[in-house]
Amino acid sequence: MNSMDGLQKILICSDLDRTIIPNGYQEESAHARPVFRQIAEHANIHLTYVSGRDKQLIIDAIEEFYLPLPDYAIGDVGTTFYRIINGNWQLSDEWSDEISQDWQGLNWEGLAEYFEDMKDVRLQELEKQSPHKLSFYTDQDVDQPHLKEKIRLVLMQRDLRANIIWSVDEISSRGLLDIIPARANKLHAIQFLMKQEQFFDDKTVFAGDSGNDLDVLTSGLRAILVKNAADEVRKEAVEKLSAKHMMHRLYFPEGNYCGMNGNYAAGVIEGLVHFFPETKKLVADAMEQVKGSR
Ligand SMILES: [Mg+2]
């Protein structure tokens, strides 16, 4: 499993939900995840999960969906960066320090104090907070632009730079509002990881499926938009990349590769071989092995 086959080190960064995890409504090809697991075992294939999930929810997903253990994980919408060494998750202080500059060194608790009197927001449970992610509940029908403006004002007065992300939890019919440091995002975290761990541009690929992956998908980094992605995401990605004359940096899996359909892990594998033809044999061998073990 060393580099006797001449494969130079490659970094695969992948979103989880509906990219590697087949939890959308489209079908997953039966061989896709087993082959992906096999590929990830190669000593020179380095895997990073990039997710909105926190560490525990990433671990839950790995167990529930039998995903390969990654080498790195970027979690909590880009606010945490872990190195996973012998199964130990080590939080990177360098990344925490980097993003905490936007908050003048404050963590979520320090920041929360400035919002104690704000009526429209309620603190989420302790386990939903992370050092550089302050999470609130709101009513589902809250005047969202107005609320964001009020929050922005508080932040501005303290000279804090942050992104405010609002979404609806359809199951509980509540609004979810996250405040994170301005520079804590998936793209910046991946670039930080590449620099820290010396992965090169031409040996790095990102895979995603949805709107919150668009920054990375259209950054000019080699990227894969899995086939199960929504049409609007595809359209927006094409618009942004065409404007930059960088369409060649984004790959749209077509399916029919090794008999797989291009959704989820199958799309990631197809894109991997597209950008790095030198992995073709690795994929073929993995497929052989998976089929043989059935
Ligand atoms: Mg996703």
Mean pLDDT is lowest, of 4-8, 112-116, 259-263, 288-292, for 4-8
Is residue 121 over pLDDT 50?
yes
Structure confidence by residue, pLDDT tens digits, 228-255: 999 999 999 999 999 999 999 999 999 9
CA torsion angle for 17, 20, 21, 24 (degrees, to 10)? 70
Average pLDDT for 267-273 = 98
CA atoms within 13 A on the CB side of 50: 30
Q: How far is the CA of 135 from the centre of ligand 1 (A)?
A: 20
What is the DSSP code string of 214-279? HHHHTSSS-EEE-TTS-HHHHHHHHHHHHHTT-GGGEE---S-BTTB-SSHHHHHHHHHHHH-GGG
| Paired tokens of 96 | 């925490």
The overall pTM is greater than 0.85: yes
Structure confidence by residue, pLDDT tens digits, 42-55: 999 999 999 989 99
Is residue 294 over pLDDT 70?
no
How deeply is 211 buried, as exposed, middle or buried, from its count of CB atoms within 10 A (0-12, 13-18, 19+)? Answer: middle
| Paired tokens of 141 | 């029908």
Q: How far is the CA of 234 from the centre of ligand 1 (A)?
A: 13
Handedness of CA 139, 99, 74, 26 (dihedral sign): positive
In this structure, the strands spanning 122-123 and 134-139 are antiparallel
Is residue 155 over pLDDT 80?
yes
Structure confidence by residue, pLDDT tens digits, 180-192: 999 998 999 999 9
Q: How far is the CA of 15 from the centre of ligand 1 (A)?
A: 6
Neighbours of 93 (CB within 10 A): 10
Average pLDDT for 258-269 = 97
Q: What is the pLDDT of residue 2?
A: 47
Task: Check if the beta carbon of residue 138 is closer than 8 Å to that of residue 120.
Answer: yes
Q: What contacts 176, CB < 8 A, 6 or more positions away?
A: 124, 135, 136, 137, 138, 166, 167, 168, 169
Q: How far is the CA of 26 from the centre of ligand 1 (A)?
A: 13
Structure confidence by residue, pLDDT tens digits, 58-115: 999 999 999 999 999 999 989 999 999 999 999 999 999 999 999 999 999 999 999 9
Is residue 1 over pLDDT 60?
no
Domains and CATH numbers, the chain: 3-79+184-292 (3.40.50.1000), 99-181 (3.90.1070.10)
Q: How far is the CA of 53 from the centre of ligand 1 (A)?
A: 10
Q: How far is the CA of 282 from the centre of ligand 1 (A)?
A: 26
Task: Check if the beta carbon of residue 233 is closer than 8 Å to that of residue 209.
Answer: yes
Report helix, strand or coil for 89: strand
Q: How far is the CA of 116 from the centre of ligand 1 (A)?
A: 33
Is residue 170 over pLDDT 90?
no
Q: How far is the CA of 237 from the centre of ligand 1 (A)?
A: 15
